[in-house]
Amino acid sequence: MAAKKLAIVLPAYNEKEVIEKTTAELHKLLNEMVLSDKISAESFILYVDDGSKDNTWALVNALNEKYGNVFGLRFSANFGHQNALIAGMTHLTDTDVDYVVTIDADLQDDPQAIVEMVDLANQGKDIIYGVRNDRTSDTFFKRFTAQSFYKVMSALGVNSIPNHADFRLVNQKVLRAFSAYQEREMFLRGIFPLIGFNEAKVYYARAEREAGETKYPLRKMIKFAATGITSFSISPITFVRNVGLGIFGISILSLIYIVIGWAFGRTSAGWPTLMVSIWMLGGLQLVAIGIIGEYIGKIFLEVKHRPRYIIAEKIGE
């Protein structure tokens, strides 16, 4: 069997501090895999510059001249991490590339796990997920919120892989199936388990970020979680409806109780009860409007059919 051609796709946004070290490590890994006949000598690294404001793109150019197998796509603006991943995979769909690995440019995900991923792919697996075997490198807050997110997703019926981010290997069959998903607000961690095919997992320990800043601060994490939930489930709307029905039922019972009390002359001013009811119902209505608005907003974004990203420049073919 001929060795398979592998492409490693890395989204990069302001990664000047780590990109040279990352490239050197991945280039060494590719050479080792070529020497052991695991992959073709034509395998390469593809950076997707997500509108970086530093000299990340200039470094990609320099790395292309230095190694020869480092290529790049540069966005015209910052379109987001998920869109950078989509651009890399879309660019390689229906090409002579056999396997595509996506991994973050900071290499907190262990690149050595790619070797095991390729072995599993050569054995016939279509999607191989990189899964963290522990979260000790995270803060308590991030660990707690991440675990809570996966539990919520599971409770909502969304098939996701706990402790899996965007470190995965897919083959051309999966890429072609993925190309049929055209929604603009795409949650990749839920899409790929939905695609199916033969799946496997590779477990690894996640390292600390060596340099640069995280690209997922709290604000983006919350937005990312909301996108994941609303992209795959209408359960939040159903929940609000059920809560509304429950409160309506309680209000009917309260009305009956008040009427009976009035009939027997046991009435009171009821000021505390009145205020609590107003605040509770008012808050519930605002929450309900907000949740419904989130879904309407997603419809608004989808029906405009704007492009997910714009590629301004390429390095290599």
Positions of the chain with pLDDT lower than 70, given as ranges? 1, 135-160, 207-242, 244-245, 247-252, 254-255, 257-259, 261-280, 282-283, 286-287, 290, 294, 297-298, 301-302, 304
Whole-number pLDDT of residue 118: 92
Can you name the residues that pair with 11 across neighbouring β-strands?
48
Instruction: Residue 91: name the closest of 40, 41, 48, 44 by CA.
Output: 48
In the three-class reduction of DSSP (H, G, I as helix; E, B as strand; rest coil), residue 208 is classed as coil
| CA pair distance 273, 271, nearest whole angstrom | 6
Instruction: Residue 33: name the closest of 116, 126, 109, 125 by CA.
Output: 116
Whole-number pLDDT of residue 228: 56
The pTM of this model reads 0.70
- Ranges of each domain in the chain: 6-214+307-315, 235-303
- Close Cβ partners of 201 (under 8 Å, ≥ 6 residues apart): 128, 129, 130, 131, 161, 164
Under CATH, which number does the domain 6-214+307-315 receive? 3.90.550.10
Whole-number pLDDT of residue 306: 74
Instruction: State the residue for tokens 């992959």.
Output: 39
In the three-class reduction of DSSP (H, G, I as helix; E, B as strand; rest coil), residue 209 is classed as coil
* Letter string b/e over residues 56-83, b meaning 16 or more CB atoms within 10 A of that residue's CB: bbebbeebbeebebbbbbbbeebbbbbb
